[in-house]
Structure 1
Amino acid sequence: MREEMPLYYNEKYDFYAVSRHADIERGLPDWQTFSSARGGILEIIKADIELPPGTLIFEDPPIHDIHRRLLARVFTPRRISALEPRVREFCTRTLDPLVGTDRFDLVAAVGAEMPMRVIGMLLGIPEADQAALRDSADESLRTEDGGQMDLRDGAILSNEMFGEYIDWRRKNPSDDLMTELLNAEFEDENGVTRTLTRDEVLTYVTVVAGAGNETTGRLIGWIGSVLAQYPEQRQELVDDPSLIPNAIEEILRLEPPGPSIARYVTKDVEFYGQTVPKGSALLFIVAAANRDERRYADPDRFDIHRKLNQQLTFGLGVHYCLGAALARLEGRVAMEEILRRFPRWDVDWDNTKLAQTSTVRGWETLPITIG
């Protein structure tokens, strides 16, 4: 597609797609033309549903900027870096009992658990209840063969399971993201200084939990499968852990957990002599752009020494992923702790399974054998 049809049109589902790095690098920051206000997922754009306020990933400036500034106040570098000892402690607790076993599922052990625990730490949700919330968020993203996500009850954008925590946290404030969101004062789009409503906090928390849980969990699965395919480079990382941060960037490039980003086209726009009409849905296929040989030499090869100065995987422009630093932290700590205990492993490829969702791509099961 990238070579033969750089502007692709799908007649059955009525959407356009671009897959070259230059087109996505130009298009993603241009929110005036490629709008997020109808959603950032193809089904949501096509469904033409009303999105609740506070869904900042599905908003455009100026309202987007107001809501993003609020979240940026709680996603500070200080708060993210303060999580590192707790993330490492979780990895230790999870991986130590597996030392000496000859086989385990990396996704079940770490990928499905760690992001949920970290989001729980941020939000102040008790550990005992985190799994149920994760499963509820995951279920809203699941699809069947040839099917689409279920948008009828709005759970993807507003998970009422978080509601009881919001009500409880209002009476029991703590040093966590939920308490800060409940108390943060801001000037809204009407010039009124106020705090967020309960529904707005609910939407924020649902978006943060959903966005951070699925994607980071898939990253950990890709760490397991990619390093199994490149044992020489894995050994380099064991010998020199300072190479790990760049290895995380390269895995994000090669196997991005979020392979595509959808936008609503607000005016006629031209690609390769063809017009994408106003009102269309357009898919930016980031995973294809990440392997564009116009941008990267030998793009299908994993290379932990590759110089990466522009990462499309977290987006570009006003919608650049707010949780990018947190995802990088989790990926780095997970890789460090896995390699420390398990310098060599193979994947039981016959028993792997890819997760099926409209938004993320990665392993649902990744059984590894320790050698």
Structure 2
Amino acid sequence: MTATTTDEVSFSPYDSAIIADPYPVFARLREEAPLYHNRELGFYAVSRHADVAAVLQDHETYSSAKGDILEIIQADIEVPSGVLIFEDPPLHPLHRRLLSRVFTPKRIASLEPQIREFCVRSLDPLVGSDGFDVIAEVGAQVPMRAIGLLLGIPEAEQEAVRDAVDNSLRTEGNQPMTMDQTLLDGEAFGAYVDWRAANPGDDVITQLLQAEFEDETGTVRHLTRDEIVLYVTVLGGAGNETTGRLIGWFTKLLADHPEQRAALAADRSLIPNALEEVLRLEPPGPFMCRSVTRDVEVHGTTIPQGSIMMAIMAAANRDPRRYADPDRFDVRRPDVQHLTFGGGIHFCLGNALARLEGRVVLEEMLDRFPTWTVDIDRARLASTSTVRGWETLPVRVR
């Protein structure tokens, strides 16, 4: 099968009409163009579950070294050391091991009481109201507090950092993200790294400042300031943006399926699987890109070295070859494994934190608001080509 051109099925990550409901286009891609080629924008794409999983697993053929965002790869900029998600071996395993020291299951689990406290602080004032914007009151608050706690950023300054990260991902008028918007900037976090260097604490930044490791040259050293700034910039961006989108999506899906929300309210043991189903059906990050390091054949077409391959996880997560009745939301779905957190060496390091936050927020929402409806006429999707989710999501609770 040859790659399909834009004269047939057409997909652009900058087309807001498509992104508003991409799944009909994704279904066409899976069936009509399992290898899609957008010549105008300069990328190939795969959308079937097996193909997307293969791309995510094969870092030797599909490299992250130039970035995993289309605009960053196309800019062909030199990615500085420390941007973990934009690295391949030998740097990636060294840096990932460093971060794995501070993302241990024990440390993540220890955050639950404080995350729950953030939820209580956000939700209690809303009890008795007619409704509220779940993004403004919860989705933009709890992830910010959790990642601020982890990084050691003072609570009074967390909103400014969150907003800087949020603005870096915005796109306007169906246009690509510009390079001065990207998270490679890191200015929002530099001051906190400097402050922690002078005022150590029990947080990730302090641990990174104190960490000693053997780098790829065999030299035993500490991380440089620039490396640490980039580490925490990536952590801050991923921790704020995607988890907030997850909160929005489970609010919307459970409003659309009140019988399943009632099942969760009655049996809280269903919540972890329900969150996996939300992540499968509405992934906050619908796709990621890779640089092709060698000529490779996909569906009968040779992809030239130097090309860009987009792995569309949101399409793969609804592939009927992998899931029965894949467009149906089912909190009891068996074997709900999805590709939302990526795969291979770049499997999302923060997945346990995102799952913890999602579970705690949903439990606390169900405690206070057993039913809610979404005011869809006032809801608005965020304008971004990298993540997909709600910028505003008003709900009525009585």
**Corresponding residue number in structure 2 for 1:345:** 372
Question: Which of 344, 366, 380 is the matching residue for 1:317?
Answer: 344
| TM alignment of 1:97-246, pairs within 5 A | 97-152=125-180, 156-246=183-273
**Corresponding residue number in structure 2 for 1:77:** 105
SS of the counterpart of 2:246?
Answer: helix
Task: Give the TM-score normalised by structure 1.
Answer: 0.98
Deviation at 1:311, TM superposition (A): 2.2
Q: What amino acid is aligned across from residue 337 of structure 2 in structure 1?
A: Q
Deviation at 1:300, TM superposition (A): 0.3
Q: What amino acid is aligned across from residue 299 of structure 2 in structure 1?
A: Y
Deviation at 1:310, TM superposition (A): 2.8
Q: What amino acid is aligned across from residue 361 of structure 1 in structure 2?
A: R
Residues 1:56 and 2:84 are matched in the alignment: yes
Q: Matches of 1:266 and 1:38 in 2, distance apart?
A: 11
SS of the counterpart of 2:237?
Answer: helix
Q: Matches of 2:394 and 2:182 in 1, distance apart?
A: 31
SS of the counterpart of 2:167?
Answer: helix
CA offsets 1:89-128 (integer angstroms, 9 cap, x no match): 1101110110110110001000011111101000111100
Q: What amino acid is aligned across from residue 275 of structure 2 in structure 1?
A: I
Q: Matches of 1:241 and 1:224 in 2, distance apart?
A: 16
**Corresponding residue number in structure 2 for 1:330:** 357
Contact 2:375–2:394 (8 Å) recurs in 1: yes
Q: Matches of 1:95 and 1:17 in 2, distance apart?
A: 41
**Corresponding residue number in structure 2 for 1:303:** 330
Percentage of matched positions with identical amino acids? 64
Task: Give the TM-score normalised by structure 2.
Answer: 0.92
Q: Matches of 1:226 and 1:161 in 2, distance apart?
A: 33
Deviation at 1:20, TM superposition (A): 0.2
Deviation at 1:321, TM superposition (A): 0.2
Contact 2:280–2:314 (8 Å) recurs in 1: yes
Gap runs ≥5 in structure 2: 1-28
CA offsets 1:15-42 (integer angstroms, 9 cap, x no match): 0000000101112110000000010001
Gap runs ≥5 in structure 1: none
SS of the counterpart of 2:172?
Answer: coil
Question: Which of 8, 11, 28 is the matching residue for 2:56?
Answer: 28
Question: Which of 281, 285, 294 is the matching residue for 1:258?
Answer: 285
Deviation at 1:298, TM superposition (A): 0.4
Q: Matches of 2:76 and 2:47 in 1, distance apart?
A: 24
Deviation at 1:358, TM superposition (A): 1.8
Q: Matches of 1:80 and 1:219 in 2, distance apart?
A: 18
Contact 2:135–2:244 (8 Å) recurs in 1: yes
Q: Matches of 2:282 and 2:194 in 1, distance apart?
A: 39
SS of the counterpart of 2:171?
Answer: coil
SS of the counterpart of 1:293?
Answer: coil
Q: What amino acid is aligned across from residue 127 of structure 2 in structure 1?
A: V
Q: Matches of 1:108 and 1:310 in 2, distance apart?
A: 30
CA offsets 1:197-251 (integer angstroms, 9 cap, x no match): 1111100010100111100000000011000000000000001111000000000
Deviation at 1:176, TM superposition (A): 0.4
After superposition, the CA RMSD in angstroms is 0.9
User: Stretches of 4+ moved more than 3 A in 1?
Assistant: none
Q: Matches of 1:168 and 1:71 in 2, distance apart?
A: 20
Contact 2:342–2:348 (8 Å) recurs in 1: yes
Contact 1:219–1:252 (8 Å) recurs in 2: yes
Deviation at 1:11, TM superposition (A): 1.4
CA offsets 1:277-310 (integer angstroms, 9 cap, x no match): 1100010000000000000000000001111353
Deviation at 1:169, TM superposition (A): 0.7
**Corresponding residue number in structure 2 for 1:2:** 30
Q: What amino acid is aligned across from residue 43 of structure 2 in structure 1?
A: F
